[in-house]
Amino acid sequence: MTHLEQTAQFPGSVLAPDPDWWRGAAVYQIYPRSFQDSNNDGIGDLSGIIHRLHHVANLGVDAIWLSPFFRSPMLDYGYDVSDYRDVDPMFGTLGDFDALVDRAHQLGLRVLIDLVLSHTSDQHPWFKESRSSRENAKADYYVWADPKPDGSPPNNWLSIFGGPAWEWDGERMQYYLHNFLVEQPDLNFHCPEVQEQLLAVARYWLERGVDGFRLDTVNFYVHDKQLRDNPPLAPEDRNDTTAPAVNPYNFQNHLYDKTQPENLEFLRKLRAVMEEFPNITSVGEVGESQRGIEVQAEYTEGDGLLHMCYGFDFLSNAYPTGKAIARVMDQFAREAPDSWACWAFSNHDVVRHRSRWNLGEDAARVYAAVLMSLRGSICLYQGEELGLTEAYVPYEDLQDPYGKRFWPKFKGRDGCRTPMPWIQDNAAGGFSDSRPWLPMAVEHLSRAVAVQDGDENSTLNFYRNMLAFRQAHAPLRKGDLTILTAEDTSLSFIRSHEGYDVFCAFNLSASAQPLQFPEGDWAVDRGAPFTTVTTGRGLQLPPFQACFAVRQDSTN
């Protein structure tokens, strides 16, 4: 069945054809295990997502991104795929997935799914066959290498999850590469048949009606064929952008285990498959500490690669001062002038940004307004619209293997993956009638959707209003960006699109900030959910407030 035929089955869809819909879109990430449980096994599922999709639609976003729901042993909670073409029974069935796509389209939401192509589970039939001998049909599907004469691994590559990136296999009497868990062997993209298999996987889901892909660890696909050692990284050049500071992964300059030039060849093939379908997009996750924006530019250059990428510029621990934000914007404009970015403050892999940056309620709101005003598309992570902080998960309840490996200095990713609170008067927050797979954070109950929904001053309604404001002003979605002022505690810039200009100013501090309007005839837009005091050309911004102004003669 083609994508067009699939779409024709959904007469209720309100989506208008628009190949450029992704440019400036707001995408809402759903972590299926923690969104809504419909069968009371304590684990979220696809039917639960369908039940709660109206919440996402009412928020005012353009699309959802579903973290993996494929068949999996769940050692890395879906990012270890054992069958790319089926839904894991804990999440439901392919019929449930089709119903979810149908319902999302009826609500005006496009659907992106999380494709994990760099590696599979060791339970995938491909790996089982590949490890059985050196002569079988899939012998080259994974990265196998002989040991050094002393029996040690082929090189010094390290796993993001700790320890060597090589695991000895006694059946083949070789090592295999795993950039993540031992149970997540890396596919060999130097094998043409592997590429064809993965392109067929993408086509399969496009034919089922998805609107695009979030591509997990997109720069990890191809490894150096010569298996050269990574050089050391000077201590002053190390950072915790890709891995926590306690991880020796940061001690290397990862020149050879990822981000290889041959990766671009595969991405061109993947884009060609996507071009067979209308209105499709792709966003790649670039895990690159030393040259993230440079790689994003390479992967999105022209019309033959990815549509957009996101890095970890605003997903790290570094506090986003006005100067820091401007520096990232300037660098992206300089190094990737023809590319489109995707920005996020939180996702399923990092500490929630309210806790990571120690933001109070008002500070979190003004930073949300900054995110929604930057040039590029944006991703919002479930619960972000409620102002959720990182939950504390005690070691005995910990599920994340990453956290178990580096506890207690790094507590893993479970604190941002706890269940979504829907109601207050329920121990599981309305997520389930059973004990959730991760404990519901007690402090999250008072921020439940039902609590905030009717409060016009709530964080939830702030997000709704700010997203509606962004949607109403084309420059905030698609315009160019010109930095005017950038200080540690304030930031201002102009967004411009087709003769229509929006001035954006942000006070990122707890003290009032005086600013000046730029030259021209500007009028403050009171539609934005902020308090602004103006005196002629002067602008007095109260603590953690923003101002948006348009030129009086501008038309949308």
- Do 276 and 395 reside in the same domain of the chain? yes
- Do 406 and 521 reside in the same domain of the chain? no
The CATH number assigned to the domain holding 499 equals 2.60.40.1180
- Do 436 and 489 reside in the same domain of the chain? no
- Do 422 and 518 reside in the same domain of the chain? no
Q: Which residue has the tokens 């998805």?
A: 210
Q: What is the DSSP letter of 148?
A: P
Geometric angle at alpha carbon 64, from 62 and 70, rounded to 5°? 160
SS3 of residue 474 by DSSP:
helix
- Split into its structural domains, the chain has a count of 2
Residue type, 253: N
Q: Is 135 a domain residue?
A: no
Q: Is 556 a domain residue?
A: no
Active site residues: 216, 276
Q: Is 125 a domain residue?
A: no
Whole-number Å distance between alpha carbons of 451 and 448:
5
- Do 414 and 501 reside in the same domain of the chain? no
Write out the residue range of the structural domain in which residue 240 sits.
3-117+192-469
- Do 505 and 456 reside in the same domain of the chain? no
The CATH number assigned to the domain holding 331 equals 3.20.20.80
Query: Of 416, 446, 469, which residue constitutes the final position of a domain?
Result: 469
- Do 252 and 217 reside in the same domain of the chain? yes
pTM of the model: 0.95
Query: Of 438, 469, 500, which residue constitutes the final position of a domain?
Result: 469
- Do 461 and 488 reside in the same domain of the chain? no
Query: Of 402, 436, 469, which residue constitutes the final position of a domain?
Result: 469
Q: H or E stretch including 111?
A: strand 110-115
Residue type, 171: E
Give yes or no for a contact between 10 and 105, defined as CB atoms under 8 angstroms apart. Answer: yes
Q: Is 413 a domain residue?
A: yes
Digits of tens for pLDDT over the chain (556 positions)?
A: 333 333 333 346 789 999 999 999 999 999 999 999 999 999 999 999 999 999 999 999 999 999 999 999 999 999 999 999 999 999 999 999 999 999 999 999 999 999 999 999 999 999 999 999 999 999 999 999 999 999 999 999 999 999 999 999 999 999 999 999 999 999 999 999 999 999 999 999 999 999 999 999 999 999 999 999 999 999 888 887 778 888 999 999 999 999 999 999 999 999 999 999 999 999 999 988 778 899 999 999 999 999 999 888 999 999 999 999 999 999 999 999 999 999 999 999 999 999 999 999 999 999 999 999 999 999 999 999 999 999 999 999 999 999 999 999 899 999 999 999 999 999 999 999 999 999 999 999 999 999 999 999 999 999 999 999 999 999 999 999 999 999 999 999 999 999 999 999 999 999 998 888 898 888 889 888 997 766 667 778 999 999 999 986 544 4
CB atoms within 10 A of CB 488: 12
Q: Is 133 a domain residue?
A: no
Whole-number Å distance between alpha carbons of 349 and 379:
13
Q: H or E stretch including 283?
A: strand 281-285
